[in-house]
Amino acid sequence: MSANSFDARSSLQVGDESYEIFKLSAVEGSERLPYSLKVLLENLLRTEDGANITAGHIRALGDWDADAQPSQEIQFTPARVIMQDFTGVPCVVDLATMREAVKELGGDPAKINPLAPAELVIDHSVIADKFGTPDAFVQNVEIEYGRNKERYQFLRWGQTAFDEFKVVPPGTGIVHQVNIEHLARTVMVRGGQAYPDTCVGTDSHTTMVNGLGVLGWGVGGIEAEAAMLGQPVSMLIPRVVGFKLTGELPAGTTATDLVLTITEMLRKHGVVGKFVEFYGDGIGSIPLANRATIGNMSPEFGSTCAIFPIDAETINYLKLTGRDAQQLALVEAYAKEQGLWHDPSVEPVYSEYLELDVSTVVPSISGPKRPQDRVILAEAAAKFAEALPAYSAEASKPTAVTAPDGSTYEIDNGAVVIASITSCTNTSNPSVMLGAALLAKKAVEKGLTVKPWVKTTLAPGSKVVMDYYEKAGLLPYMEKLGFNLVGYGCVTCIGNSGPLPEEVSAAVNEADLAVVSVLSGNRNFEGRINPDVKMNYLASPPLVVAYALAGNMNIDITKDALGQDADGNDVFLADIWPSEQEVAATVAGSIDEAMFDKGYQDVFAGDHRWQSLQVPTGNTFEWDAESTYVRKPPYFEGMAKTPSPVNDIAGARVLAKLGDSVTTDHISPAGNIKPGTPAAQYLTANGVEKRDFNSYGSRRGNHEVMIRGTFANIRLRNQIAPGTEGGYTRDFTQADAPVSFIYDASQNYQAAGTPLVVLAGKEYGSGSSRDWAAKGTALLGVKAVIAESYERIHRSNLIGMGVLPLQFPEGENAESLGLTGEETFSFTGVTELNEGRTPKTVKVVAGDKEFDAVVRIDTPGEADYYRNGGILQYVLRSLING
C-alpha cells in the first residue's frame, strides 16, 4: 500500500470497469515534466513506503531541474521483467540456487519467487546451420532441440515451479517483437490498479518497447533477478534529451536509414545515462513499427531509453495486434487522464534538445564494425576501400573456389558471404520486410540471381511475417533468391549465422580474405557475426537483398549494375527498388488483426517437441551432475547471514589491459566455442564431441564453460600480451611471465591468492546488457576495473557481482599515467564503505606510480550491493533477515 502522502489515490471509470489510479496532478510541477519522467513519478507515488521511497523523492521528481546534473537517487519498481533464453537461463539457474541457499540458511524456499510478471522468450538458440532450402526451418529447429534439450527441460521446470513465470517456446519469435506484438500492456492492470506498463529486460534491446510508450530498458540478469524478487532498480533522476522530429521520409529511404541517422546523431551528441524522448509534429506521421525500430537502437546510441509518448498511432497498433477493446479504451482513457497523451502543440521542458527533419534522410548502411558508423549508401564502396587496409594488406586477392556441384568461381576481399534478414530491429517492421520481398520479386522477374558464395538467410521476429509474405504472394520470390525461412530468432545478429559453406570458409581462411556480412540487425561488432567474416555492415532488408545480388562491397550499388537480365541488359538498383506507393499498398492489403490473433492465441503452449520434454517436479531443482548445460553456480557457497567487512585490495596483478570501445561482446562469452580453447578443453574432458560444442550463449547456465570463455573473443587485443588476438594474457605467477590463456592464468593467480585488476579505456562495457560480462569477470578473480569511462549497464553489473568499478582521474588514462600492466597494484580507502559512506576516490599505487581513482559506485543502493558482495547476496540476506 502506498503511503499516499500527496493524496494522489483516485479512481478511473472506463466502460463498466473502475480502476484505482494515482493522479500525477497531485504533485506540483508534474504537468511540465517530460513523458518519461511522468511515468517515473507515477511509479513513486504508487510505491511510496516512507523508507526506500519517500515524499522527498516524489517532491524531487516534481521539482526536477532540467539543467542539473543527475544527483538524486530514486527507486524505480518495474511492472514486469522480460528475458531471452541466453540471459534468462542464468536468471532461472540463480533463482533455483537461491531457493537452496535460503533452505540451507533456515528460510522458506518458496519465498524465492517472482513477485512481478516475468516472461521469457526462447529466441537466441536457433542457429542457421541449414539455409537456402524449403526444409531449412524444420531442420534447424530439430538441431536446436537436440543441442538444447537440457536447457529447455530446465526452463519447462521453471515454468511449473515458479509463480508469475511464463516461457514462450522455441520457434515462435524474437523477444522484443513478441513484446510489442503481444506481451506489452502499455497500461497494466493488477490488483484493481491501473498504472503505466514499465519493464526491465535481460537484453539491451528491451528499449524496442519504448515505441509503444512503455518505459523500459535493458539491465543485467542479476538486476533483473532482483526486480523479479521485488527489489526496485536504484537509479539517478536522469537528464532527458528532447529529440524533435519533423517532416516525412523521402522516397527511396526506409526506417532503417532513419534509425542509422538518429544513431549517428545521438552517439555524436552523447546520451549515455540519459533518457531520450521523441516529440514534435512529425511524430504523428511515424508508424508504430518505425518508432519501435528507433527505440530498439537505443543501446547503439547509448541512451537508457528512447521513448515515444502514447497517441492515436499507439492505439491503432494495439488494435492491429489483437489487444481487446477494454484494453484499448483503458490505454486511451488513462493516458489522457494522466497527461501522458502526446500533444504536438506542447513542447515539454528538456535538459538538451536535438532536431531532425526526417525529409533530409538519405539511404545509408553502417559499418564495418560499429552501429554508429553510418555510411551514405552512395559512398559505401569508396568507404569500404578506405577501411580495407585495416583488415587486409592487399586491396585484391582473387581466390578460386570449387563448389560441391563442380562449378568454379572467384571470391575476393569485399565478397559478401552472408546476407541475412535478421533481428528484432527490422523484422518487426512490415514496410521494410515487404519492401525487401517486392525488390526480390522484381529481381527475379528481371532474371537476377544471388551470387553463389552468398549465404542467404531469412529469420523473422514472429510468425506473422511469414503469414503476410504468403498473403502478399511474395514468399516464392524470396525463396527463389535463397531467402528461405531458417528460424524465428535472432540468428545472425546474435552470432548464430552458422558455418559458411566449407569451400567458401576454406578459401577465406587460406587466403586470409577480408570478407563481409550484410545484415538487417543492430549489432556488427568485430568477431560477432561469424569467425570467418572480418567486416560487417548493417542495412535495411531491401538492401540486404540488393547486396546478395551484387555479391561484393566494392560495387557501388547506387550506380553499378547488380547483374544482367535474360537479354544481357544491365539491371540497376533503381530498376528493382519498389516505390513508396507499392510498399504502402502491399502493407495495407496483406496485414490484418486476424494474423496476430492466430499467431499468439496459444503462444505459451509450444509445439509437440516442447510439450513432450520430460521435466522434474518440485520447488527445488534436481541438478544433474553430468550436465554440461545447467550447473549449480558457486555464488552462495559459504555465505553467512551477515556480510563480512569490505577490505582494501593489495598485491593485485593486471589480467587485461584494454583500449577504447571494448564491448561486452569482447568480454562476455558469445558465439561458437573454438576447438583448443579452455572452454573446448573442458567440454572435451566431459565427453562432449566437437560437433556438439554448441555456442557459449546456449551454455550460459554452466558457469564452468562461461568462466573459460570470458575475455576470449577472437578480436580481443590485450595490450600486456602484444601481438596476440583473443583470450590471452601474461601469467606473472610464472618465471618470465609467459603468454597463456586468460582462464589458465586466472586459475594460477587465484591459487596464489593474488587479486586481479582490469585496465580499460573509454566506453568500457558498451553493447548488450550481458550479465556474464560481469559474472565471468568476478569468477576470474577480478576485484577492480579501472576505466576512462563506462557504459551504464556494465558498470552496474560489475557492482552487482562485487567488482569495484573505478575511473581514471579526469583527462588521464593508463598511457598518460605510464602504466604498462606489469605493475603490482594496491587500492586503499575502500574500507570507508564499512562506515556507511561511499568514498569519492581511492588511492591507487601501481609500482612506482600513484593516483586517485574515482569510485563509480553511484548510489547508496549500489553501495549496499557492494558491501554484501553482490546484488543477489543482498537480496537473499534481505529475505532471510526480514
Q: What is the SS3 assignment for 838-852?
A: CCCEEEEEECCEEEE
**pLDDT score at 243:** 97
Please give the domain boundaries of the chain with CATH numbers for all domains: 9-64 (no CATH), 76-233 (3.30.499.10), 369-600 (3.30.499.10), 649-668+710-855 (3.20.19.10)
**HSE of 120, CA atoms in CB hemisphere, 13 A:** 32
C-alpha to C-alpha distance for 545 and 354, rounded to whole angstroms: 33
Cell of 684: 572435451
CB 152 within 8 Å of CB 145: yes
Q: Please name the residues in contact with 391: beta carbons below 8 A apart, sequence gap of 6 or more.
A: 368, 413, 514, 534, 535
Strand partners of residue 563:
571
Give me the torsion for CA of 180, 184, 185, 187, rounded to 10°: -90
The H-or-E segment that residue 668 falls in is none
Give me the torsion for CA of 550, 555, 560, 562, rounded to 10°: 0
Pairing of strands 399-402, 408-411: antiparallel
C-alpha to C-alpha distance for 644 and 30, rounded to whole angstroms: 43
**HSE of 63, CA atoms in CB hemisphere, 13 A:** 7
Which residue stretches of 364-419 are H helix?
380-387
Q: How many CB atoms lie within 10 A of CB 63?
A: 11
C-alpha to C-alpha distance for 123 and 174, rounded to whole angstroms: 5
**pLDDT score at 221:** 81
Q: Is 814 helix (H, G, I), strand (E, B) or coil?
A: coil
CB 58 within 8 Å of CB 45: yes
Give me the torsion for CA of 815, 819, 822, 828, rounded to 10°: -140
C-alpha to C-alpha distance for 169 and 191, rounded to whole angstroms: 28
C-alpha to C-alpha distance for 225 and 342, rounded to whole angstroms: 33
Q: Which of 708, 803, 720, 816 is nearest to 764 (CA)?
A: 803
CB 212 within 8 Å of CB 292: yes
Amino acid at 821: G
Query: At 670, phi and psi to the nearest 5?
Result: -155, 155
Cell of 264: 549517428
What are the CA-CA distances from residue 205 to residues 182, 292, 635 (Å)? 16, 10, 27
Q: Residues in the chain, how many? A: 882
**pLDDT score at 769:** 58
What are the CA-CA distances from residue 801 to residues 93, 165, 622, 862, 874 (Å)? 16, 24, 25, 11, 11
Amino acid at 607: D
C-alpha to C-alpha distance for 867 and 645, rounded to whole angstroms: 7
C-alpha to C-alpha distance for 220 and 138, rounded to whole angstroms: 32
Encode pLDDT of 332-365 as tens digits.
999 999 999 999 988 889 999 999 999 999 999 9
Q: Before 839, cis peptide (omega within 30)? A: no
Gap between the terminal Cα atoms of the chain: 18
Largest Cα–Cα distance of the chain, in whole Å?
83
The H-or-E segment that residue 526 falls in is none
C-alpha to C-alpha distance for 732 and 720, rounded to whole angstroms: 11
**HSE of 139, CA atoms in CB hemisphere, 13 A:** 13
Q: Which of 222, 217, 215, 263 is nearest to 243 (CA)?
A: 263
Q: Please name the residues in contact with 795: beta carbons below 8 A apart, sequence gap of 6 or more.
A: 765, 805, 856, 858
Where are the extended beta strands (E) located within 398-437? Answer: 399-402, 408-411, 416-421
Planar angle of CA 568, 550, 412, nearest 5 degrees: 115
DSSP state of 162: S
C-alpha to C-alpha distance for 154 and 629, rounded to whole angstroms: 10
C-alpha to C-alpha distance for 432 and 539, rounded to whole angstroms: 11
Where are the extended beta strands (E) located within 572-681? Answer: 649-657
Q: Is 258 helix (H, G, I), strand (E, B) or coil?
A: helix
CB 231 within 8 Å of CB 861: no
What are the CA-CA distances from residue 161 to residues 99, 186, 616, 619 (Å)? 11, 28, 10, 5
DSSP state of 78: -
The 3 state secondary structure assigned to 615-642 is CCCCCCCCCCCCCCCCCCCCCCCCCCCC
Enter the pTM of the model: 0.86
CB 654 within 8 Å of CB 717: no
Low-confidence ranges of the chain (pLDDT < 50): none
Strand partners of residue 354:
243
**pLDDT score at 591:** 96
